[in-house]
Amino acid sequence: MPESAYLLDSFDEEDCTYCDGDLVTGSYKDNDAIVCDDCGTPAVQLW
């Protein structure tokens, strides 16, 4: 597993700090990221 995937997986299912949503693996502005499944705010973004 690449280090970037390990980093993203370590945040998956954490609580969003902006709302009551959960953080999930996804994308933000075409970059791999951890985003809130409720409000869409990115918590981690990799370039």
Residue 28 burial (CB count, 10 A): 16
Torsion of CA 20, 7, 25, 11, to 10 degrees: -20
Domain count, the chain: 1
Residue 10 has a pLDDT of 87
Mind listing the pLDDT tens digit of every residue in the chain (47 residues)? Answer: 578 888 888 888 899 999 999 999 999 999 999 999 999 999 999 98
Residue 34 has a pLDDT of 96
Strand-pairing partners, residue 45, are: 33
| Residue 28 token pair | 């933000």
Residues spanned by the domain of 16 = 3-45
CA distance 32 to 30: 7
| Residue 34 token pair | 């951890």
CA distance 25 to 39: 14
